[in-house]
Structure 1
């Protein structure tokens, strides 16, 4: 599969605090860096990171929507996520539903920033989907991707994952993915070794983190060129 089936992928609104936890980033790590957030969903990360001195471009296939249509999808998917906790409570930490509901205000701030971007043409929000990105080689210091690769392994095969990672590594020096766990399981992505073999010029490292919502999503992958 070559493009993301966006109707089947949640448009999540993880906050800048979530990003800093998932990717072990501090304000100092963000300042002065060029960052790609892909897919960005309805996160306020880009807005907040720019306030901390970063240059951030957010990419999502739904960024071709007008503000009202995107706002409808943001609110719908937030409720879908809350409902999912009721259907599969064994996957989530206590308080996860309240945390999802707390995304509402940051998501409204994202929507306001998205609206400003469309009026001013600053291109902070770009409509695109992996595995094809509309950027020059090495445009970014860092690319971040949360809850797409590995999480939707039933939708995206190994070939798509290799293409997606290769594309992010083409446009960014370092790539971080969270989580490395496969779908809703606690096992790492089943083709992890094959990914490493397909990208022999790069170093793969992992780090365990505490996810505030999911019980299984506890591993972040970092990929960078070998020295």
Structure 2
């Protein structure tokens, strides 16, 4: 189990309020944005945003499976992670959560919101996809968010995967990509790929590391913003879900 976990990508998720802080999102600014949550896992952001009237869909490699199967995977991963957290107390920076118990309660509520929405909105809001390829046309979304995959797993996803995945997210975005966190899974230090990625993207895109107000892991208080330097950088215009074309469907 220990050796297998070193290669595993956890199927976990974060809550709506966490997303607002992790990505420095201001809800009024998103009223006319079409948003993709890429590699969303069991996060409740898409569910809660749609319930509030916003235009968000999610993509993940495990979507397409039954809610029951994903619940089993998520529950096993969550329990394994909670056991691992016993050895990571020095890396926790309680800010968003009051303590360990508060984190567990919040996570469970977030997972429940995701699974309930997935059961009824699986085909409309949750698209099966596997980076570094996404099944969407160019400029399909105004904003693409990516949480807890890139940089975090730099011990098992190589630099080419990072670069091609980010280029793919840029391709399907008309304006901006935001990635959080920038630290590695097994330390509180920034991934070795961050500077290389910024260097390789900078000739064509505006890149910026920004501080965020979200606090949970020590050192994980920054996100990477990647903006297209051409095209309309004004407020988002409303795009309905019907305008998104999914290849092969």
In the superposition, the TM-score normalised over structure 2's length comes to 0.82
Alignment of 1:55-204 (within 5 A): 55-94=55-94, 95-118=99-122, 121-122=123-124, 124-172=125-173, 173-199=175-201, 200-204=203-207
Q: Does 2:27 align with 1:27?
A: yes
Instruction: Name which structure has the greater RCO, CA cutoff 8 Å, separation 6+.
Output: 2
Residue 171 of structure 1 and its aligned partner are, at CA, apart by 0.2
Which is further off, 55-64 or 148-157?
Answer: 55-64
Runs of 4+ with deviation above 6 angstroms: none
Q: Name 2:235's counterpart in structure 1.
A: none
Q: Distance in 2 between matches of 1:46 and 1:208?
A: 23
1:75-120 alpha-carbon deviations (Å, 9 max, x no partner): 22222222121022111134145313321122112111111024xx
* SS of 1:62 mapped into structure 2: coil
Q: Is the Cα–Cα contact under 8 Å of residues 31 and 54 in structure 1 kept in the other structure?
A: yes
Residue 36 of structure 1 and its aligned partner are, at CA, apart by 0.6
Q: Distance in 2 between matches of 1:58 and 1:226?
A: 25
Measured on the aligned residues, the alpha-carbon RMSD in Å equals 1.8
Q: Is the Cα–Cα contact under 8 Å of residues 60 and 127 in structure 1 kept in the other structure?
A: yes
Residue 206 of structure 1 and its aligned partner are, at CA, apart by 1.2
Unmatched tracts of structure 2, length 5 or more: 231-249
Structure 1 pair 98/91, CA: closer, same or farther in 2 (3 Å)?
same
